[in-house]
Amino acid sequence: MAPNPMDLGGSTVLVTGASSGIGRETAVLLSSLNARVVLTGRNRERLEQTLSLLSGEGHRIEPFDLGRAEEIPKWFRSLAAAIGPFHGLVHSAGLYMTLPIRFVTHTGAEQLLRTNVLSTIMLMRGFSQKDCHAAESSAVFLSSIAGLNGCPSTSVYAASKAALIGVAKSLAVELAPQRIRVNCVAPGCVQTEMLDQIRGPLSNEQFEALERAHPLGFGTARDVANAVAFLLAGTGRWITGSTLLVDGGYSAQ
């Protein structure tokens, strides 16, 4: 039997936002591909729930608030010292905001950008430190089609997700000599808790129109997790600085 090109046996992967949604589903998939998964998020109880879903052994939870961005590099180094170098980083944690620009506050915008953008930069500072990453390693950021396609009332969120694409492109070039690949996955609307947030202020007609805007319908967390795993594994060996759209055809129109 031919070997599975997406097998992650022997790899250790840190997954942020692992307590729910895409982060949780990604962790479950990576464990089924034989990776050792380190789960992080703010809620220990929900991380324990994710841990119970994983296949294999050697997984662990490491609760941490990524809003404490300045502490991330030191935290990352402590993880690597205890666990060993990481082969992969999946940054799925983030905040969502739907708000017309006239209602955006400095405090709210700063919090979202700090969580979605600054945490990414500091995670990569940590990941790229000596002895914190394996000889061949890969980072995947969860961006969004909101960072590529205009949509009313999402300016701050869209800015944060567009920023991740720029960060990935720059770091892909900067970190290539260290053999660290950096890519993004940009999902469309996926059936997670975030879709419930999007659904809230919309009428039935508006929500149905949003679904029709995805020619293949709304996606699932597993659809996105599959793309993340593809980029992490050897199947993504020659891919860096790219953004993989996983949006059911939304951006094709």
Decide if 38 contacts 14 (C-beta within 8 A).
yes
Closest CA to 189 of 141, 251, 241: 251
CB atoms within 10 A of CB 13: 27
Residue in 75, 127, 157, 230 annotated catalytic: 157
Closest CA to 246 of 205, 185, 177: 185
Catalytic, 157? Answer: yes
**SS3 per residue for 52-87:** HHCCCCCCEECCCCCCCHHHHHHHHHHHHHHHCCEE
- The residue written with tokens 């939304």 in the block is 250
Q: CA 168 to CA 123: how far, in whole Å?
A: 12
Q: CA 240 to CA 53: how far, in whole Å?
A: 30
Half-sphere exposure of 183 (CA within 13 A, CB side): 22
Give the catalytic positions in this structure. Answer: 157
